[in-house]
Amino acid sequence: MVKHELPELPYPYNALEPHYDEQTVKLHHDAHHKAYIDGLNNAEAKLAEAREKGDFGLVKHWERELAFHGSGHILHTLFWESMKPGGGGPATGKIAELIDRDFGSFDNFKKQFSAAAVAVEGSGWALLCCNPTFGKLEILTAEKHQNLTQWGVIPILALDVWEHAYYLKYQNKRTAFVEAWWNLVNWDGVNSRCKCTCEA
C-alpha cells in the first residue's frame, strides 16, 4: 500500500512574514499537517487489515478516521497552495469574472468569505468552492475537516481557522488573522484549480 507523505511547502517557512509568522508556519506544517497524514496512513492500514481478516467490527471508527484525517491532509495541502509571498489584492483572471457574477463584486465576496471564516464554530475552514452541479461558485465552511460540505464541490481556496493555524501570533484574535490572510491569497493558484468547472 502506497503511503501518503507530507508535501513540501511551496515557499520557505518565513516567506509569508509579516502576515503569517515563521514559527507558526513551521509548527503548523511540520507537526499538525504531518499528524493528519500519519492518521490517514494508519486508518488506511487498519481498513486494509480489516479486509484481510474479514473483521469489520471497527469499520465505522476507521472510516471516520479516514474521513477526518484524509480531509485534513487535502485541505491543509490546499491551504498552503492558497497563499504565496507577495499575494493578496483583488482576484484576477477568470476567477475575478466568476466572483463578480456569483457574488456581485469582489468586495461582496471578501466580506462574505471573511464573515464565514470568523463565524466557524470551534475548529474548521472557510472554503471557496466550484460547484459543477449548480454551475457556480459557493462559499462553504467545514467544521473539523469534513462536516458541512456539499457533495461534488471542488475546493479552490482554503482558509484554515483552527486555532493552531494562528494562535502563536494572533492568539484568540481570529478576525485579525483573517484580515491579514487576505494579503497572502494566491489568485494564480485559485485560477489554476478552477478550470471553468463553475460555469453554467
C-alpha cell at 87: 499575494
Q: Given this model, what pLDDT does residue 147 score?
A: 84
pLDDT single digits (tens) 60-109 = 999 999 999 999 999 999 999 999 999 999 999 999 999 999 999 999 99
Compute the half-sphere exposure of residue 95: CA atoms within 13 Å on the CB side of its CA.
22
Q: Given this model, what pLDDT does residue 195 score?
A: 72
pTM: 0.94
Binding residues for Mn(2+): 28, 76, 160, 164
Q: Given this model, what pLDDT does residue 198 score?
A: 66
Binding residues: 28, 76, 160, 164
Contact 131, 98 (CB under 8 A): no
Where helices occur in 54-138 by DSSP H, the ranges are 59-81, 93-103, 106-119
Contact 185, 82 (CB under 8 A): yes
* CATH class of residue range 20-80: mainly alpha
* Residue 113 clears pLDDT 60, i.e. is over it: yes
Place of cell 474521513: 67
Q: Residues 6 or more apart from 193 whose CB is under 8 A from it?
A: 154, 156
Q: Which CATH superfamily is domain 91-191 in?
A: Iron/manganese superoxide dismutase, C-terminal domain (3.55.40.20)
User: What does the domain layout of the chain look like in residue ranges?
Assistant: 20-80, 91-191
| Residue burial 71-96, b: 16+ Cβ < 10 Å; e: rest | bbbbbbbbbbbbbbeebeeebeebbb
